[in-house]
Structure 1
């Protein structure tokens, strides 16, 4: 009788292996560089407006309009990518966005507030959809689902760093030179990063998968109940983040420590980055839906200590906990979106996901601003947003698990040119 040796365990995934895969470092680095303007432009616009003699209120309005117009336009650009390819959308958008940012200082002598508003809104609308585009590229760049899982976690976890590095870079440039220089550098980084992605072979070759079988019948059915419920739940995640940003400012004012307004969001983003690193290195046996619900529950639990109104040090440490689970929530949401949407509509679906979080964040910021003078209510808002997200996911968990959903974050679609197996 012969004995067979047990199968060797799969080699452990390392981020070195992920980054060493063809084009991964270029695509990830280019996307992060190209998206730096998301963290830089609102601050640079505000500093330029105030340096030009406008009020802080008007500068804040311009900054908000840039972010809002950028978010609103995401689904349109996602659909354009699905129809015409990534490079055809990324490059014209980056050129227009950069040109408008550089042209903004001309608004002061030639057009005043009206022209400045039009330029800012146009720049936001032209923001390249790099985040949605990168998520659509991973299946073709990384055929191994374990590497893809790690890349998605690394990609998602590093997004928060943009909002730490970006404002710091703008502040340094504005104080050392001028806000006009900060706008020019913002435009240059956005254009350079986008070009690195758009001119890479995977991006140039990328085309949506053709509609086949059931997908052909569902081509116009992106707004199915499961997808809508997922996106509705993500508005609660964004709401918590937006409320946290305003709460950190209220904490800074209450304790007379201005640095808290930056330190607390930085701690949250750092937690997200570290949580993503840990999550991406493991292979998970549970389904994506189960991981999504558990991570959202942990995200909710992480906000509850704020209800005790902790001091500055404890508050900074506390926000790192929900931050650590944010990457897991968002990564699982992307995999669920991929599994629930027709094959030819993924870029547009990813863009709606981004918009859902952005809309929730804007709502959280607005409501938290109204309640900033009520400490307990202000501290409770992040938990309220997370509770809303958890409740929606819990109620919709059966719909969020499509038939044949694969565990371990696997994508349901094969690579182009490969046949589906039953």
Structure 2
């Protein structure tokens, strides 16, 4: 053998065990799951808190909607700040203000002045820490292997749906056993602890976004490809929001109250399982090509619901589109990473999260207006998925960059003597 030949460098194993055993991964995933629990707890907790003292359900619903709207609309701003200032200097103050506002609500009292309560809830929503976008910006510095990053992203995305099962159940149990005020306090504490677990880990403390060369602009974010991707993911969100309202309509028409929770739970379980399956192997094609296939399967999986199946069949059937949701979301984030300027990746992730949230709100509103029409309600998730697929198909040539490989964010490694957390 010639002396110039060298044995191939072994690549890290892209398995769940290898990923979870990698330094920082388990801590980051665990912290982010705890830190995002308030996303599922606050809306339900506000309703229980207001109605628990005889307050108006309409006012309680308005507060829940305000919290979600303020949280979603402020994400791109916080993402941009994070790309300029780092994670600790943005998420740290944000989570302190968010938790402090939630802790202030039981002190003010559910019967306090509506304007004061509304203002505090609005501040809490605006200061929701950008945990989801921040974590996804970290994976490139924590895991060097693309296969391992795909698995981490699948775990992160797949478990997100479970938060909207565990969160409402936890806040409902605390409210029933003790009080809605205690449930809000617990929500604030969980959000603070989970976010601090992530922010105090060295990948977050030392993360810095990629810097543009001197004299160059930070790059244009909203390119045609990204704009069409965001529009497509709004259609995906529309399907999710419509499904949540349709499940309530199903529970009402069949007089089975548990259906309103069982159908979203089946969908979320399917999403979790889909994430596990997607992360187990390397799939052919680019992330954009996989996104198109996933969107087509997501649409096809909604079509059996147009037959208006019975309760048990519906629970089983709705898990199938859930299987492909994680594929769509994961591939969308990977596509964003390839299209966004290297100096604005966190902001680009935040815009994607906002797009899905806006789509969910739209789907919820449309499904509410069509609640009296069973077939229309069952068809609306498929309509949202069809819009998503149509936009992605039209944009397919814009979703694959043709330029040179992009730079990654920098992870400033500590000196050897300070290498341990």
TM-score exceeds 0.5: yes
Matched-pair contact (CA < 8 Å) for 1:143–1:415 = no
Tell me the equivalent position of 1:408: none
Q: Please tell me whether residue 216 in structure 1 is matched to residue 212 in structure 2.
A: no
Tell me the equivalent position of 2:177: 176
Matched-pair contact (CA < 8 Å) for 1:94–1:194 = yes
CA-to-aligned-CA distance 1:306-331 (integer Å, 9 cap, x gap)? 11001101111111111000001000
Tell me the equivalent position of 1:25: 26
Q: Secondary structure at the match of 1:273?
A: helix
Q: Which moved more, 1:378-387 or 1:11-20?
A: 11-20
Q: Which moved more, 1:97-106 or 1:40-49?
A: 97-106
Shift of 1:288: 0.9
CA-to-aligned-CA distance 1:8-51 (integer Å, 9 cap, x gap)? 99776321111111111111110110000000011111100101
Tell me the equivalent position of 2:385: 386
Change (3 A) 1:316 1:109: closer
Tell me the equivalent position of 1:312: 311
Tell me the equivalent position of 2:241: 242
Pairing of 1:212-361 with structure 2 (within 5 A): 212=213, 216-217=216-217, 219-361=218-360
Shift of 1:144: 1.1
Tell me the equivalent position of 1:128: 129
Shift of 1:216: 3.5
Matched-pair contact (CA < 8 Å) for 1:52–1:108 = no
Q: Please tell me whether residue 165 in structure 1 is matched to residue 166 in structure 2.
A: yes
Change (3 A) 1:109 1:341: closer
Shift of 1:412: 4.4
Tell me the equivalent position of 1:101: 102
CA-to-aligned-CA distance 1:54-106 (integer Å, 9 cap, x gap)? 11111111111111110010001001101110011111111111111111123
Matched-pair contact (CA < 8 Å) for 1:107–1:113 = no
**In structure 2, C-alpha distance between the alignment counterparts of 1:364 and 1:417, rounded to whole Å:** 39
Aligned pairs, number: 409
Tell me the equivalent position of 1:87: 88
**In structure 2, C-alpha distance between the alignment counterparts of 1:414 and 1:112, rounded to whole Å:** 49
CA-to-aligned-CA distance 1:174-199 (integer Å, 9 cap, x gap)? 00000000000000000000000111
After TM superposition, where is structure 1 displaced by more than 6 Å over at least 4 residues in a row? 6-11
Is there any run of 5+ residues in structure 2 with no aligned partner, and where? 413-421
Matched-pair contact (CA < 8 Å) for 1:235–1:358 = yes
Q: Secondary structure at the match of 1:183?
A: helix
Change (3 A) 1:354 1:325: same
Change (3 A) 1:380 1:361: same
Matched-pair contact (CA < 8 Å) for 2:96–2:192 = yes
RMSD: 2.2
**In structure 2, C-alpha distance between the alignment counterparts of 1:13 and 1:27, rounded to whole Å:** 18
Q: Secondary structure at the match of 2:399?
A: coil
Matched-pair contact (CA < 8 Å) for 1:298–1:322 = yes
CA-to-aligned-CA distance 1:290-316 (integer Å, 9 cap, x gap)? 100000000001111111001101111
CA-to-aligned-CA distance 1:114-162 (integer Å, 9 cap, x gap)? 1111111110111000000000000000011111111011111010010
Change (3 A) 1:200 1:12: closer
